[in-house]
Structure 1
């Protein structure tokens, strides 16, 4: 697991909700090939909407 620094732009692809009701967002870090999951309560969506994966 790697922490993303505050202010780093990520591109959100879609989300899943696990059995505990936590929403996980699949995203890519700007200007990299790094992809991964973000916990939605730790991130802020600035624009657009998310689709379920």
Structure 2
């Protein structure tokens, strides 16, 4: 993949990536792959803490 970021002289608007929305699903899928426990509702840290104390 080759990416070109072009300076067009206008207001900055980003380069098209949206990094935050896929983080929670990726994290919960990784937790499921590692532990076999599915986390379906936020907050993830609270659910993970409860899961680890059981």
Fold equivalence (TM over 0.5)? no
Q: Into which bin does the TM-score normalised by the smaller protein fall?
A: under 0.3
Normalised by the length of structure 1, the TM-score is 0.18
Q: Which structure carries more relative contact order (alpha carbon 8 Å, separation 6+)?
A: 1
When Rg is computed on C-alpha atoms for both structures, the one with the higher figure is 2
Q: Could you say which structure has the higher strand fraction?
A: 1
